[in-house]
Amino acid sequence: MKRTLPVIAALVILALLAALAGWGYYVSSWLGGGWEWLTAILPFIIVGLIAVGGLTGVLMWLAFYSERHGYDEPYDVNKPGGGRRPR
């Protein structure tokens, strides 16, 4: 019972978010310029999503790289070499 409640809550939240996205998609068809305005900005949306995805990937790679190579080790002035492991 303890595990099913969070799963059910997460599914309900996801269903509500999907309903909100569907409603927003429906309403945007008759607000403003309708679907004609969407085609004008669609390339910018796609490029923005690709750029954000690429930046996210690069930053995650940097986080894992720095952790694996010892750059995240704390510096200790009382130990030789700052207490960092040798490379």
pLDDT in tens, 35-46: 677 777 788 989
Which pLDDT score, from 0 to 100, does residue 39 have? 78
Is pLDDT of 85 > 70?
Answer: no
Q: In the 8-state DSSP scheme, what is residue 73?
A: S
pLDDT in tens, 48-68: 999 999 999 999 999 999 888
- 28 exposure class (CB count in 10 Å sphere: 0-12, 13-18, 19+): middle
Q: What is the pTM of this model?
A: 0.51
Is pLDDT of 20 > 80?
Answer: yes
Residue 7 CA to chain centroid, in angstroms? 21
Q: Give the C-alpha separation, 23 to 30, whole Å.
A: 12
pLDDT, mean over the chain: 84
